Amino acid sequence: MDEKTLMYRSAIIKQLYFANALSCADLSDRINKSLPLTAKILGEMIEDGYVMETGYAASTGGRKPIMYSLKADVMFIVSVAMDQFVTRIVIVNMQGKYVTEIEKFELHLSRTPRELSLLAEKISSVIVKSGIDKDRIIGIGVGMPGFVDTQKGINYSFFETNGTNITGYISEKTGLPVFIDNDSSLVALAELKFGAARSRKNVMVVNIGWGIGLGMIVNGELFRGHNGFAGEFSHIPLFMNGKICSCGKNGCLETETSMLMVLEKAQEGLKSGRASLLKQVSLDAVEEAHENLMATVNKGDRFAVELLSEAGYNIGRGVAILIHLFNPEMIVLSGRGSLAGKIWQAPIQQAINEHCIPRMASNTVIEISALGYQAELIGAAALVMENFGKDTARNNTLNKEQLAPGK
């Protein structure tokens, strides 16, 4: 297969993955190639088993166009979503559906000396257990907290690499291309491609987790900043509380709003005798404690709702700063904390009303993510697809093998 055909096929695969179904005319516009050439490549991809017809589009008055989609099982992506305590791994098909159970395990990044080797072992184990031929996996996408340099494949906050980079290490252990990014950036990528920010131009995506992350969508694209470190929302200095943040500074937004801080306050409240449906909160089992909190909030427990309302108001103070700086059309609340749903909206809106210039805040909508805790997994898969077909030696070799006729 020549390089041009390979490039056209890769472009069509990317467009169909993100859109799910498109007509030939839509594809022609999106890949900026003529309609006859696009139809020819589509026909070849149908013959080779990559693309299928999925019916007709809704009529707009003329002849209904045929719609095309990727065959679900033609290729796969390994998606990895990490936070400071828990890592999840799943394999995704070309229609964005999980084809394995989510493998979830504890991996404490700040105190596990072999975290990188353990991660590589777990990824390899999931692939082997899936029974999927490795030749049909186009890559591994990994979301992780910290200062992530996507180009160098380095996380400056976590992982001891002993002179190599994270992407190179995992790639060597698995034999697959690996791409990494900050967890909040991938949450925002998921919202941009599949969620509340789709077709929006300027959106701030707040990732409510063990910290308070931020993914920024500016002019319809993910904004990472000069070194890729943009969005450290957690570390805006807002409080004179004397609390030491995980970054080493005092009074950061995170010290009053992260889910870890909420759990600490829950633990203190229960010890002081607050009546609540909350079970005993242990910070040695934060995943279980968080699930307990979310379930209790959604039952309307007064103490649990108070905890999130207080955190929400303080998140809203930070959001007010974002509105003044970026004038976004939407704020999306995503990540694990968004499982609490609409509980967040009232206190955040109250803080915006108190701290924002009304003319600036009036056109900004607060939206709860429909993707929720799955957003990082969805974004990690999207990261692989965004890099699919790019002109790198390892990807070109892989693509030639996977996109060859009759594969």
Q: What is the CATH number of the domain that holds 84?
A: 3.30.420.40
Residue 404 has pLDDT above 90, yes or no: no
pLDDT band at 396 (very low <50, low <70, confident <90, very high): very low
Strand 22-23 and strand 66-70: the pairing is antiparallel
User: Is 188 contained in some domain?
Assistant: no
Are residues 205 and 345 located together in one domain of the fold?
yes
Predicted local confidence at residue 317, as pLDDT: 96
Are residues 350 and 238 located together in one domain of the fold?
yes
Are residues 214 and 252 located together in one domain of the fold?
yes
Q: Kindly report, residue by residue over 200-258, the tens digit of the pLDDT.
A: 999 999 999 999 999 999 999 999 888 788 888 999 999 898 888 888 899 999 999 99
* 119-145 mean pLDDT: 96
* 175-181 mean pLDDT: 96
Residue 109 has pLDDT above 80, yes or no: yes
User: Is 26 contained in some domain?
Assistant: yes
Are residues 86 and 62 located together in one domain of the fold?
no
Residue 169 CB contacts under 8 Å (≥ 6 apart), including other chains: 116, 120, 161
* 156-174 mean pLDDT: 85
User: Is 262 contained in some domain?
Assistant: yes
Predicted local confidence at residue 395, as pLDDT: 46
User: Is 260 contained in some domain?
Assistant: yes
Between 373 and 115, name the one with better pLDDT.
Answer: 373
pLDDT band at 111 (very low <50, low <70, confident <90, very high): low
Average pLDDT, the chain: 90
Residue 406 has pLDDT above 70, yes or no: no
User: Is 191 contained in some domain?
Assistant: no
* 84-113 mean pLDDT: 91
Q: Kindly report, residue by residue over 331-356, the tens digit of the pLDDT.
A: 999 999 999 999 999 999 999 999 99
Domain boundary among 70, 91, 113: 70
Predicted local confidence at residue 389, as pLDDT: 84
Are residues 335 and 283 located together in one domain of the fold?
yes
Predicted local confidence at residue 207, as pLDDT: 95
Residue 275 CB contacts under 8 Å (≥ 6 apart), including other chains: 302, 303
Determine which of 135-139, 149-153, 161-165, 368-372 has the lowest per-residue pLDDT on average.
Answer: 161-165
Determine which of 9-13, 84-88, 158-162, 290-294 has the lowest per-residue pLDDT on average.
Answer: 158-162
Domain boundary among 70, 88, 111: 70
To the nearest whole percent, how much of the chain has pLDDT over 90? 73
End-to-end distance of the chain based on CA atoms, in angstroms? Answer: 12
User: Rounded CA gap, 407 and 401, in Å?
Assistant: 8
Residue 392 has pLDDT above 50, yes or no: no
Are residues 86 and 202 located together in one domain of the fold?
no
Are residues 331 and 386 located together in one domain of the fold?
no
Predicted local confidence at residue 242, as pLDDT: 87
User: Is 388 contained in some domain?
Assistant: yes
Q: Domain limits at 66?
A: 3-70
Integer Rg of the chain from CA: 22
Are residues 239 and 346 located together in one domain of the fold?
yes
Total domains, the chain? 3
Are residues 348 and 234 located together in one domain of the fold?
yes
269 CB neighbour count, 10 Å cutoff: 18
Residue 399 has pLDDT above 80, yes or no: no
pLDDT band at 393 (very low <50, low <70, confident <90, very high): very low
Predicted local confidence at residue 57, as pLDDT: 79
Instruction: Give the global pTM.
Output: 0.91
The answer to whether 116 and 166 have CB atoms below 8 angstroms apart is: yes
Domain boundary among 70, 95, 125: 70
- 3-state class (DSSP) for residue 219: coil
Predicted local confidence at residue 394, as pLDDT: 45
